[in-house]
A and B are shown apart, each in its own frame.
Chain A
Amino acid sequence: GQQVMQIPQYQHVQEGEDFTTYCNSSTTLSNIQWYKQRPGGHPVFLIQLVKSGEVKKQKRLTFQFGEAKKNSSLHITATQTTDVGTYFCAGLGDRSGGSNYKLTFGKGTLLTVNP
């Protein structure tokens, strides 16, 4: 079945450093979503990417969807303490991949920021 791998599992940075988390799917995706879960909180939707090669920005966050629609990344520039949390990608499989539009979450990357 469809698998979504996310790396790294943990990342600790100094405030002001950049951060990147990567997501790879075993099958072609219809779209990919990113969520953030603050410590003690619930996942909150950040963005959805649909088109091959798509790049979207939200302030210091840059999201990319690969050309083959099988991988994605989230890059945070100049991290702040408010960026702390777990970042999840969730891939929606497309019909050609046999996953029939099933949404599969990666295991997440826990980001901690040292002030």
Chain B
Amino acid sequence: DSGVTQTPKHLITATGQRVTLRCSPRSGDLSVYWYQQSLDQGLQFLIQYYNGEERAKGNILERFSAQQFPDLHSELNLSSLELGDSALYFCASSVGLGEDTGELFFGEGSRLTVL
């Protein structure tokens, strides 16, 4: 158990819909990361938050948005869903930032299927 909690574990929805994925980081970790993993693909970095502020952006689509709340949990919002958005979405957390990032602790992921 990494200490990172993601909900829901599985989600099936239709094209055009909107979903919200939730992540609770490991206790004490201030950084939260979101990654997308499609079939046979690596880990595509989406976005990073540190203590409530956005710190880095990857290849995140404009249809996607995220935030980190004062209690440090984070949500990833995916809207106007397309078939290609079907993937495993991982949340990860770490203690620090920048040079003090440390190891990332990954949640078990949220598997999104868009039909």
Residues of A within 8 A of B (CB): 30, 33, 35, 41-45, 48, 88, 90, 92, 94, 100-108
Whether the pair B90, A92 counts as a contact (CB closer than 8 A) is no
A103 to chain B, nearest CB (A): 6
Number of A-B residue pairs having CB atoms within 8 Å of each other in the complex: 49
**Per-residue A-contact encoding for B20-64, CB less than 8 Å = 1, 0 else:** 000000000000010100000111010000000000100000000
User: In chain B, residues 77-115, which have Cβ atoms closer than 8 Å to a Cβ of chain A?
Assistant: 90, 92, 97-99, 101-109
B interface size (C-beta, 8 A):
22
Q: Which listed residue (A33, A44, A102) contacts B106, Cβ 8 A?
A: A44
Looking at chain B's contact residues, is the secondary structure mostly helix, strand, loop, or mixed? loop
Contact in complex: A108, B42 (CB < 8 Å): yes
Give min CB distance, A93 to chain B, whole Å. 10
The verdict on A42 contacting B2 (CB below 8 Å), with A92-B99, A92-B101, A102-B56 known, is: yes
Neighbouring A residues of B41 by C-beta, 8 Å: 107
- Residue of B43, B105, B107 touching A105 (CB-CB under 8 A): B43
